Chains A and B, each alone.
Chain A
């Protein structure tokens, strides 16, 4: 990337979200930040993005030629899977296993709900074809591939108008030979059909999950191609020279060619931006262990960041039939920023459940009919209604005053649907809604932590999203967390986070073997290949080889277990001695996580993994508070349970707070897209980037509970 001293250059981050498309433009020398928010154009995402970009550039008088970098995150793949708008796709499997997708794991995600629905496979049964072949668990051929059968399959596929084919043969991650041969033959006969191989897309054990991933890749591939072609064409027309980079679900960027080959890697890329922003802004503030907490209108998301690195996983679910029920979606095995989604947002509806208790969410009023206070027809009380009634939100400064809220409607709805049926005062009911949704989020965050052996008390909570900063203080308290970081621009932070992403690609291969029987030569061969494949994609995106970092991991477990733990490999070639060190690392990590060991049980290798990463972009962020305004806007009555009543609470303008400034709770700090609430006893200071760093009082007793004697 060439940068002239005279001419400023810009980096552009574009995040297509469910409702809005967020854009940020960062002047790369001064760190001046410009942001835009436009409604997502569902009829044509590419047109929407191009228009948003043109508007933002025009508004700030920036020429397209000055934009040298574009990082884009899109919900296109996710939406295609949810709304079933992908290409007509077929699947080729090993003879005898046609029903791989239909049969899934044969398990119900809710044991008491006899009316449960399950996700329909992306490929209907009539488009699943069997080919005669068989490998054993070691990858050895036990039945030869009947290549002659492919012609018939190609005919059927053509006749059905199929545009994309996934191939998933048993044990192919051990030996891709048959899959490659099928692909070659199919391509020879039907060259227009795009092909995804399971041994390429995700060479991992467990045929259903691998097939599901490969099928999803095939399903979104043609749609992604058409979208990216149009977008890249439009950007070129606009005179923007920067290469279009896409943000992947693992928070690394990849170029267009890699995105077209592995579009499934782009699913869930939006949320990765928040995690990136948290680790980037956290690192600048000297905080490397964070829990990123995002609360929007419908859902909340939580991601753990350790040592500056967002927690990763190799599997998640998309297109759930029941949005928050694990097991109700399509499993995808791709490297992903590990994140949970909770049915808790500003629009979450409160009411009495069958036990006569206060229930909040997961049902949401969403944007329509919306919370009662929007006055758009919503009648049932939501979290936003409670937040407004309690004084956390300002009826006249919602979205910077663009939308007027109706406090009267909010209190009527709470009174009718919560206070009266539960026999509570209006204030107690409103506080209850706020407290219950906080506890729901805190519990989900806690489960998320404990599933991976982490203690939330060791972290700083990083709060963003429209509603996150209102609730973060209480969520932190429920988790036993004492420090909360509130970044500026909480509303467009994902798009900013994109700009902090390094180019990266990860490849893995399952290779199951007792660790003491692992052949170092074979291991080196596999690892070299994984590093080469990942490196090639990263270098193709313009990263000089010398700047590539390589991380190699082995996933290990005690023989017999199902879950493996990734352990970083010692540097250098794999040798007997380095395998011994790997074994010891695993034992230490396992003991640290589970506080116990399985004596006498051998350690088993499950898979190898290699990630090649380019340099982390160095971003400059301009310090805030350059304009001197009166930071304190006034006071308003705000409810705090510590006081047991509404108190006269100071309200501050976020953008007028200068670095080094200090505040004490209770206080409300407003910016156009979000509001920070800090409770009594909390102290806060503004750091050089304009982050509000809050320290909660030491906890004693019970927060939020009011127990009658």
Chain B
């Protein structure tokens, strides 16, 4: 029965939209409660998304997972392999194609067609960062093939029946099979929950499908985002750039932001060509961070869906490291992708007065793998954050995950699970760039092996050698470093830690905002009293080192 398009008034729409997002949240909660990995449960590195039958994003989970900003094209690509009419209830498809999802093989996505009363009404996509995906730990891959197991689009559930071959292949190819297979099953359960809840939602509200509601959501979001962009960014063309360390030579990110009437086109022409080592960032991942940045600036409160991101287009020349060709190695994409926002913010630093962020110190991703004293394999990932940049009107935050959001690993949890001892985890005084608003401080993190078996460890950062820049006259934060037993070592390369070896991570601080001379003397005095700024640095950068007026402050 064909009906006319339903029109939702602002009250119905508010209620229906929120309830729809709730169906996605329900999936996210089921994942976090059942995952086997600390990277998911503590680090929250996963996501749940709902797409329409054409593969357009309709809703994303709200503040459960950290992958909320994700714009996956997996559904659209999978539909090319599995046409919609070939899919049945209970089917689920898996892939970890870095060119479709989040840019490296560790992210596995499970996609499930969702049916209501026999009709395909949408797709669920649940994805998470796996604690391991196999591949080389001892050397630096030069092709994606060396980076781990590639999962082509395949049905891991066929009308509800688990594909035993897939799980056998998966378990045989990863270092912690139980953990990875457990997490894949957590994603499967997440998709199933979303399907069940969506069907309840449709029945309850007497909707046959999501077509009309989806079109309304997209149109409203797109219109609002356009207005917000037009208000935030004056029409014009803006250029900004930044560099990342790369392996042998630095890589340049050149951003050209063209704003016109509420539409923004971001192009990365002029950025460095793709690297032969795994620092490449697939277009999907470049797009994630470019659109994320625009949303932060223009409309941080808008829900995530296709319409919200529609006014923003992102392009990068094929063959550049921000849009590499298959089979480029991509494992360390955060080491490049996390700097995409910086180039864009640099471009807009003077155009957008109210909401701005100086360069952040980013974070170390530390992978550790080996065998414990009972000879059981372990493989896990943790994050160690640098400072977050000073804002337009506020100091930066110390040791805060930006742009990707995740949490630190509690020292007690880490030492409970892995044969390491943390010797120190402390803020780095003077690492926050001086300014009217000071950049956040970075940290020093020292890790010692207490294992008789070697630990294979890889610490990736991306930009240790160049200090995070200040904006509008603010000074740069302190650069970072990586040291093994006191000697500098390059990041991103695998290291082998024997018992007693100490790895020291120095994570950069963040840039300041506006000239230091404008800083409130009491704010500076407080920083000095608390040891975040030394007297010498205060004299050098601010021209004076005031005392606290009120000791109780």
Q: Is B93 an interface residue (CB 8 A)?
A: no
Ordered nearest first, which 7 A-B pairs have the shortest CB separation? A562-B41, A432-B11, A112-B300, A96-B424, A125-B530, A106-B408, A107-B407
| B-chain residues with CB within 8 Å of residue A171 when the two chains form the complex | 412, 415
Q: Are A112 and B30 in contact (CB under 8 A)?
A: no
Residues of chain B in range 367-394 having any CB-CB distance to chain A below 8 Å: 383-385, 391, 393-394
B215 touches A (CB below 8 Å): no
Stretch at the interface among B13-21, B74-82, B146-154: B13-21
Contact with B along A441-462 (1 / 0, CB 8 A): 0010011001101000000000
B224–A598 touching, CB < 8 Å? no
Closest chain A residue to B41, Cβ basis = A562
B91 lies within 8 A of chain A by Cβ: no
Structural contact, B11 and A428, CB atoms closer than 8 A: yes
In this assembly, does B205 line the interface, its C-beta being within 8 Å of a C-beta of chain A?
A: yes
Chain B residues with CB under 8 Å of chain A are: 4, 6-19, 22, 25-26, 29-30, 32-38, 41-42, 44, 63, 66, 68-69, 178-179, 182, 185, 189, 204-206, 220-221, 224, 228, 292, 295-297, 299-302, 355, 357, 383-385, 391, 393-394, 397-402, 405-408, 410-413, 415-416, 421-427, 443, 446, 450, 529-532, 551-552
Measured between alpha carbons, how far is A113 from B299 in the docked complex, in Å?
A: 9
Q: A interface, by DSSP: helix, strand, loop or mixed?
A: loop
Complex contact A355–B221 (CB within 8 A) = yes
Complexed CA–CA distance, A638 and B49 (Å): 42
Asked if B408 and A107 make an inter-chain contact with CB atoms under 8 angstroms apart, the answer reads: yes
Give A contacts to B, CB under 8 Å: 88, 96-100, 102-103, 105-118, 124-126, 134, 136-137, 142, 160-161, 170-171, 205-209, 325-326, 352, 354-359, 422-424, 428, 431-432, 435-436, 439-440, 443, 446-447, 450-451, 453, 512, 558, 560-563, 594-596, 598, 600-601, 701-702, 704-709
| A453 to B220 CA separation, bound complex (whole angstroms) | 34
Assuming the contacts A106-B401, A107-B401, A354-B224, asked whether A447 and B25 have C-beta atoms less than 8 A apart, the reply is yes
Instruction: Determine whether the beta carbon of A114 is less than 8 Å from that of B296.
Output: yes
Once the chains are docked, how many angstroms separate the CA of A356 from the CA of B66?
A: 27
Main secondary structure of the interface of B (DSSP, over half): mixed
**Which residues of the partner chain A approach B11 to less than 8 Å between Cβ atoms?**
357-358, 422, 424, 428, 431-432, 435-436, 705-706
- Distance between A339 CB and nearest chain B CB, rounded to angstroms: 18
A107 and B405: CB pair below 8 A?
A: yes
**A71–B398 alpha-carbon span in the complex (Å):** 43
Q: Which of A113, A326, A356, A446 has the most CB of B within 10 A?
A: A356
**Most chain A CB atoms below 10 A, which of B189, B408, B412:** B412
Residues of B contacting A160 with CB < 8 Å?
A: 551
Q: Are A354 and B69 closer than 8 Å at their CB atoms?
A: no
Name A96's contact: one of B4, B179, B446 (CB within 8 Å).
Answer: B446
Task: Enumerate 24 A-B pairs (CB-CB under 8 Å) in ascending A order.
Answer: A96-B423, A103-B399, A106-B383, A112-B69, A112-B292, A113-B300, A125-B427, A125-B530, A134-B421, A354-B299, A356-B220, A357-B10, A357-B13, A422-B10, A561-B35, A594-B189, A596-B189, A598-B182, A702-B205, A705-B11, A705-B16, A706-B11, A706-B12, A709-B6
Q: Chain B residue with minimal CB distance to A95?
A: B424
- Nearest CB in chain A: distance from B388 CB, A: 8
Assess A560 versus B38: contact at CB under 8 Å? Given A114-B296, A137-B415.
Answer: yes
Q: Are B407 and A105 in contact (CB under 8 A)?
A: yes
Bound: A450/B179 CA distance, A: 24
Contacts of A207 in B (CB 8 A): 410-412
Of B10, B30, B206, B393, which one neighbours A358 at CB under 8 angstroms? B10
Query: Could you tell me if A109 and B300 are in contact, using CB atoms closer than 8 angstroms?
Result: no
B363 nearest in chain A by CB position: A106
For residue B455, give the distance in angstroms from its CB to the closest CB of chain A: 16
User: How many angstroms from the CA of A432 to the CA of B443 in the assembled complex?
Assistant: 50
Contact (A205, B38) CB under 8 Å given A125-B531, A563-B33, A594-B30: no
Bound Cα distance A451, B31 (Å): 11
- Bound complex: CA of A312 vs CA of B205, how far in Å? 34
CB distance from A708 to the nearest CB of B (A): 5
Distance A357 CA – B118 CA, assembled complex (angstroms)? 32
Task: Kindly state the separation between the CA atoms of A469 and B551 in the bound complex, as whole angstroms.
Answer: 50
Given contacts A170-B412, A450-B29, contact A326 B63 (CB under 8 A): yes
| Contacting pair A97 B34 (CB below 8 A) | no
Are A436 and B415 also in contact (CB < 8 A) when A108-B402, A111-B66, A701-B206 are? no
- Chain B residues with CB under 8 Å of A596's CB are 34, 185, 189
Residues of chain A within 8 A of B17, CB atoms compared? 357
Q: Which residues of A contact B412 (CB under 8 A)?
A: 137, 170-171, 205-207
List the B side residues contacting A326 at CB < 8 Å. Answer: 63
Please name the residue on chain A nearest to B407 by beta carbon. A107
Given A600-B178, A708-B7: A114 and B300 interface contact (C-beta under 8 Å): yes
What is the minimal beta-carbon distance from B114 to any residue of chain A, in angstroms? 18
Please tell me if the beta carbons of B14 and A436 are within 8 angstroms of each other in the complex: yes
Residues of B within 8 A of A209 (CB): 410
For residue A700, give the distance in angstroms from its CB to the closest CB of chain B. 10
